Amino acid sequence: MPADLTRRKLIWGGLGAAAAAYAGALGYPVYRYLADPAEEAAELAKVTEMELPEEELPAAGSATILQFGARKAILIRHDDDTMVCFSAVCTHLGCTVAYQADQDRIYCACHGGVYDPRTGQNVSGPPPRPLEEFNVERLDGKVVIRRA
C-alpha cells in the first residue's frame, strides 16, 4: 500500500505541475495583452545606458542599428576606429536613418535627408535639426553608450 500511495502522489504531482505550466502558458499572453503600453513605454524611456560587447561592434567603416530603450540608435564605427552614436530617428518625420559609408553620410530615404556621419549635423534635405548624439566609451572589452 505505501508504494501505491507514492505512485498516486507522483501522478497528482505531475498533473499539478502540468496544470501550472498550462496556466502559465495561457496567462502570460493575457498579462502582456492587458499590460499598459504607456507604462511600458515610460519604463523604456528611463533607459539611459547600454553596453555592447566588443565582438558585437560593427566592422570598421560600417554601422549598426541598436535598440536603445524606446528608440533606435545608429552606432557608426569609422575607418579610423573612432565611434559615434546618434539617435537613428530622423528629425524631419521620424523615419529610421542609415549609414552610407560609400558616400560618407547618414541618409534618410524617406525624403532625402542627409546628416554628417561624424557630428550628426543636418547637412541637406528637410531635417530641421541634428540627430541627438549619445556618448560612446570603450571600457574593458565593451562599449558603453549613454544618453547625455
**Quick check: 64 and 58 in contact, CB under 8 A?**
yes
Residue 47 Cβ vs ligand FES, minimum distance, rounded to whole Å: 24
Specify the length of the chain in residues.
148
Q: What distance in Å separates the CA atoms of residue 142 and residue 138, rounded to the nearest whole number? A: 6
Residue with Cβ nearer ligand FES (50 or 98)? 98
By CB under 6 A, name the binding residues for ligand FES: 90, 92-93, 95, 108, 110-111, 113, 125-127
Residue with Cβ nearer ligand FES (103 or 135)? 103
**Quick check: 115 and 121 in contact, CB under 8 A?**
yes
Residue 122 Cβ vs ligand FES, minimum distance, rounded to whole Å: 9
Cell of residue 35, nine digits = 499590460
Residue with Cβ nearer ligand FES (66 or 90)? 90
